[in-house]
């Protein structure tokens, strides 16, 4: 073999070796697929609301009621701190007739509301209740179902609704 052929053969071998290395090193790198390189979802955390200090406020009073003393009782809070909202209680089984709806609240100085039938017929609207004492409200329900809406106007607090047949 002539020296020029030896040299061409050596250069060819080098070219082949470099081509092979380029394939291994990703000379034309394969683009990552959308699924293989998907970013991990970022986790956002929100602090839980402050526990409601009014939770359970009327529990003992409700538990102390005599069996049959009230046709219906509803109680709770206007919501956790920062999440206060109006409250709606409804009992669709209350028959037309005369009742005493006693309202109590703690926390705000006053609460407002309305009493209506489940069908939306207004019975007492507007209704203002002082939170310093229980407020009995005489109600003549013209149709089946009783709805009580209460609003603390954004103040944290607790409420108690008691419904008894009028005597």
Question: Which of 106, 109, 102 has the alpha carbon at shortest distance from 148?
Answer: 102
Which DSSP string do the residues of 96-152 spell out, in sequence order? SEEEEEEEEEESSSEEEEEEEETT--EEEEEEEEETTS-EEEEEEE-SS-EEEEEE-
pTM for the complete prediction? Answer: 0.70
- pLDDT, tens digit (0-9, with 9 covering 90-100), for 107-120: 999 999 999 999 99
What is the CB-side half-sphere exposure of residue 33 using CA atoms within 13 A? 2
Domains of the chain: residue spans and CATH: 59-165 (2.60.120.680)
Mind listing the pLDDT tens digit of every residue in the chain (167 residues)? 544 444 444 444 444 444 444 444 444 444 444 444 555 555 666 666 677 899 999 999 999 999 999 999 999 999 987 899 999 999 999 999 999 999 999 999 999 999 999 999 999 999 999 998 999 999 999 999 999 999 999 999 999 999 999 98
């Amino acid at each position: 073999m002539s020296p020029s052929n030896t040299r061409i053969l050596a250069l060819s071998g080098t070219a082949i070796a470099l081509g092979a290395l380029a394939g291994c090193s990703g000379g034309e790198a394969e683009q990552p697929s959308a699924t293989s390189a998907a970013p991990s979802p970022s986790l956002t955390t929100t602090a839980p609301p402050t526990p409601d200090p009014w939770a359970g406020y009327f529990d003992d009073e409700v538990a102390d009621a005599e069996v049959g003393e009230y046709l219906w009782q509803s109680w709770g809070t206007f919501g956790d701190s920062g999440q206060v909202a109006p409250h709606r209680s409804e009992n669709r089984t209350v028959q037309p007739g005369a009742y005493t709806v006693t309202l109590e609240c703690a926390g705000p100085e006053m609460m407002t509301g309305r009493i209506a039938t489940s069908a939306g017929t207004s019975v007492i609207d507007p209704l203002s209740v002082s939170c310093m004492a229980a407020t009995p409200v005489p109600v003549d329900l013209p149709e089946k179902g009783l709805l009580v809406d209460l609003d603390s106007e954004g103040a944290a607090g607790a409420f108690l609704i008691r419904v008894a047949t009028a005597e």
